[in-house]
A and B are shown apart, each in its own frame.
Chain A
Amino acid sequence: KAGVTQTPRYLIKTRGQQVTLSCSPISGHRSVSWYQQTPGQGLQFLFEYFSETQRNKGNFPGRFSGRQFSNSRSEMNVSTLELGDSALYLCASSFQGASSPLHFGNGTRLTVT
């Protein structure tokens, strides 16, 4: 079974631009979550989608948004990029259930210059 796939792996953008990251979950998984990893803050929860609905949102500004499509694929968008948005963005999917672990993709490394 294929794992969580994230594209692109690497991205370089300049301040003020916007970026869209893509995630394909494991087949059959309907919950998709996004996390930001930085050296200082560790892994921070961005948001979670289930059946195209955002169910949970972390403490990030409104510049960070996402969506989920009917096939469970998800995209994350960051507008008006800032230097501090440079991070590894990780997508995770789960089958959904009380004891269902999240499975992560290898992430998109975003560098903002």
Chain B
Amino acid sequence: DQQVKQNSPSLSVQEGRISILNCDYTNSMFDYFLWYKKYPAEGPTFLISISSIKDKNEDGRFTVFLNKSAKHLSLHIVPSQPGDSAVYFCAAREGGSEKLVFGKGTKLTVNP
């Protein structure tokens, strides 16, 4: 039973355009959501997070949107750069727990 789903295994975009990565969840007890970027042979790097009391959080080129009624969140990267090419993981946490539940990841390729 996958509680966090990233339905697109891969995404390819042109440099300078917007990248939109999507994530769906089923557990309504999740109250904190995070996005991580991962390069091969390295650990995941924290990108941005959002609490369930918000619907948007922005940090530079990265914006995360949360739609609680649809149990859906998305990560927007604008403008996309070749260095953004990596696997992106969506993760969620239940209130009071440090345990993260991860999606399977989306491999983003930004073409020059």
Contacts and interface: CB of A to CB of B under 8 A. Distances in A.
A73 to B, nearest CB: 17
A105 interface: yes
Nearest to A56: B99
Contacts of B46: 101-104
A99 B41 contact: no
Interface residues of A, number: 28
Contact of A104 (B44, B95, B103): B44
A42 B102 contact: yes
B103 A42 contact: yes
A4 B97 CA distance: 20
17 contacts: A31-B98, A35-B100, A42-B102, A42-B103, A42-B104, A43-B89, A48-B98, A58-B99, A98-B31, A98-B51, A99-B32, A101-B46, A102-B46, A104-B43, A104-B45, A104-B46, A105-B43
